Amino acid sequence: MDLKDGDMADTCEISGVESLRDEIAFFESKRAELLLAHEGKFALVKGSELVGIYDDQAAAYKEGLTRFGNQPFLIKQVARQDPVQSIPALHLGLIRAHS
């Protein structure tokens, strides 16, 4: 397989998301239930297990590192809708996502 400049970054980014497919699906299947008692808090998910609910992202991250080390795990805020991320410098052309 021939890789061009930037292809490796794309491959790593896709495999990172792919490695969390089960966690994302599990979270989405539980979102309505989690909203009832934990809206605004942060869920730590590994595979199809809800590891815990935390008041802040840093506490969830610390627990994830303690339990799973350098293995992928999901931290997601319990919210009705996922926040939209905006990077103004990217939209204005001041930086580029790909080289």
Residue-range domain boundaries for the chain? 7-91
Report residue 88's pLDDT band, with 50, 70 and 90 as the boundaries. Answer: confident
Work out the percent of the chain whose per-residue pLDDT is above 70. Answer: 79
The answer to whether residue 78 scores a pLDDT higher than 80 is yes
Report residue 59's pLDDT band, with 50, 70 and 90 as the boundaries. Answer: very high
Instruction: Quote the pLDDT of residue 8.
Output: 40
Average pLDDT estimate for 67-92: 87
Phi first, then psi: give them for residue 78, nearest 5 degrees.
Answer: -80, 105
pTM > 0.75: yes or no:
no
